Amino acid sequence: MTKLLIAVAAAMVIATPAIAQSDVRAIPVPIPPAGTDVNKIVCERQDELGSRLKGKKVCMTVEQWTQYRAENREKTERLQQSAGTRSGG
């Protein structure tokens, strides 16, 4: 019985990266519409993970927001790709 449970657990661990890779979707970086002032300051409220009340107001230019989102997207993609290539070792 325990051998069966170990085999099932091992199969699930091995299959997890394959399942995770199938859900990878590219998140497009919003490009500001033509005629948008890239130096315009835009403020967004960024919530703190795990809290509905805490958060902070972050202000950047449109160009900075575009660069910030592109960098975050690239980091996320690299992490997702590296997670799928790690050996179970």
Q: How far apart are the first and last CA of the chain?
A: 25
Tokens 């970086």 appear where? 29
3 state DSSP class of 47: strand
Alpha-carbon gap, residue 42 to 62, rounded angstroms: 6
pLDDT at residue 24, rounded to an integer: 46
What are the extents of the domains in the chain? 2-81
| Mean pLDDT per 10-residue section of the chain, whose length is 89 residues | 59 54 51 78 90 88 95 94 72
pLDDT at residue 85, rounded to an integer: 72
